Amino acid sequence: MYRLLQFVIKYSAFFTFIFLALLCSWLIVVNNQYQSTRYFNSSNRLAANIISFSQGVREYFSLRRINSDLAEENAKLRSQLERYAATDSMYTDTTRRFDFVSAKVINNSTQMFKNYITVNKGREDGVRPGMAVISAKGAIGKVKSVSNHFAVLISLLNVDDQVSASIKKMGQFGTAQWDGTDPRMINLNYIPRHVNPQVGDSVVTSGYNAVFPPDILIGIIRSANLKDESPWWEIKVELAQDFGRLSFVEVVRSFQRKEKDSLELSTTGEIR
């Protein structure tokens, strides 16, 4: 306290000057319309910039919560759309087929031959092995294993994973499978040579199973080549989802899968 008092006494002339300068400035602003207008316009502009900056900072640190809320809302909207489709009089099948659970990606790999994704939803959230997984941009993969609070997914970037797919424009179906090279590209196999696929055509899930909903985007055809001796096209598809930027997914719960699998198993002895 004594040192502070000494400091004030030592620089008392300086502090007096600052006080008088501020007082004079305030008197000028209060008693002159032009200076008053300029001061308040400048101060309002400065205050607005400060408020805008602070709001931007708050929004930046809120992005994770905002993204989580948007993912939850997206899952709810998909479920509502599915319920609407199931009850629409235009549909002959009035059974609700799918429900959606939003989940956050907490681990992800893209550099292996067999890549997996871990999400923060598990058995307690209704997630089960074999369920399909999608994102806002397209198909992601299938659930491999679950615990009470987590699930591990087989990514589309896994050489062992195959997805029934079709070229949307012409309805010709084949199999989408990664070859373990480029994480942005996937192969569309078993498209016969009489078909005429075009660069730019959309490739979607075929709906030929009870796992994926139909018409979920997988990607866009970037090259299509046909060798003279081959019965099949060699088609490269650019994935709609960049797996290196994956943050949120939706697990698709199919209400008809158990019935379908049971019927196929009893009829053919295998599940497709």
Residue 36 belongs to a domain: no
> In whole angstroms, what is the distance from residue 80 CA to residue 96 CA?
10
For residue 95, is pLDDT > 90?
no
Residue 17 belongs to a domain: no
Provide the CATH number for the domain around residue 179.
2.40.10.340
pLDDT in tens, 239-271: 999 998 888 899 998 776 666 666 666 776 655
Nearest 10 degrees: CA dihedral of 214, 215, 219, 225?
90
Residue 1 belongs to a domain: no
Confidence of residue 88 (pLDDT cuts 50, 70, 90): low
pTM (2 decimals)?
0.65
Residue 42 belongs to a domain: no
Total number of domains in the chain: 1
> In whole angstroms, what is the distance from residue 248 CA to residue 136 CA?
8
Residue 71 belongs to a domain: yes
Could you give phi then psi for residue 169, rounded to 5 degrees?
Answer: -65, -35
Question: What domain range is 221 assigned to?
Answer: 64-268
Residue 39 belongs to a domain: no
Residue 192 belongs to a domain: yes
pLDDT in tens, 50-60: 655 665 665 56
> In whole angstroms, what is the distance from residue 218 CA to residue 82 CA?
20
DSSP assignment, residue 199?
T
Residue 3 belongs to a domain: no
For residue 167, is pLDDT > 60?
yes
**Which amino acid appears at position 96 of this protein?**
R
The predicted model gives 215-219 an average pLDDT of 93
End-to-end distance of the chain based on CA atoms, in angstroms? 84
Confidence of residue 94 (pLDDT cuts 50, 70, 90): very low
* Secondary structure class of 157 (helix, strand, coil): strand
